[in-house]
Structure 1
Amino acid sequence: MRLALLSTIAVFLSAVAPALAQGPDPAVGRRLAEETCASCHAVGAEPDAKSPDSKAPRFLDVAKMPSTTELSLKVFLRSSHRNMPNFLLSPEETDGVAAYILGLKKK
């Protein structure tokens, strides 16, 4: 009985672990940024791009700020802000957008 239980757990973990280990998907974050944020922000990696709203920082500039970390982005994306619409992002969407912005730091 115990061996059967351990075998079942091992099979379950081998099926679930790869999905958990993948982490946030920056491609999902990019798609969401293009659909939701690009009306105000320059969301791409183009160094000469300008945000449609001059008060909205470019994602590339946000990525390169010394204070930008995974945690700071997630907190920011989950908080309401006076000059931004209040978006309700799922945890996976928040993680994806944060991963996308952090990926811009390397460009």
Structure 2
Amino acid sequence: MYAYALRAGLVLTALLAASPTSRAAALAGDPQAGHAMAQKWCTNCHIVDSGQKRGTSTGAPTFDAIAQMKTTTEMGLHVFLQTPHDRMPDLHLTRNEIDDVSAYILSLKR
């Protein structure tokens, strides 16, 4: 009986470790690091936080506006930040940097 309970517990632990929720938690970035990176690289075109008084006149949306879009998801941000765009410079962000910037943007979601 004890061996069966132990085996069931190990199977449950393995399933939980492989679940999408735990993978998402493992992939989640650091919002503070993402904020610092956004302040360094994105403020030329975007308003990245409420403390920033203005951006440029490029028409780039604020990070808050991006966060509030119903379509903004972690996966969507990852794809967007890995894809070159006409009006956005190709920053060649690492996966960790993309995780961090995405985490920061998603932290603004209300």
Q: TM-score range by the shorter chain?
A: 0.7 to 0.9
- Within 2, Cα distance between the matches of 1:22 and 1:75? 14
Q: Does 1:72 align with 2:96?
A: no
TM-score normalized with structure 2 length: 0.70
The offset of 1:48, in angstroms, is 9.2
SS across alignment from 2:40 = helix
Q: Does 1:31 align with 2:36?
A: yes
Q: Does 1:100 align with 2:72?
A: no
In structure 2, relative to structure 1, the CA distance for the partners of 1:54 and 1:91 (3 Å cut) is: same
Alignment-derived partner of residue 59 in structure 1: 63
Structure 1, unaligned stretches of length 5 or more? 1-19
TM-score normalized with structure 1 length: 0.72
In structure 2, relative to structure 1, the CA distance for the partners of 1:85 and 1:49 (3 Å cut) is: same
Structure 2, unaligned stretches of length 5 or more? 1-24
The 8 Å contact of residues 41 and 53 in structure 1, kept in 2 or not, is answered as no
The 8 Å contact of residues 27 and 99 in structure 2, kept in 1 or not, is answered as no
Show structure 1 runs of 4+ deviating over 6 A: none
Q: Could you tell me the percent identity over the aligned residues?
A: 40
How do residues 4-19 of structure 1 correspond to structure 2 at under 5 angstroms? none
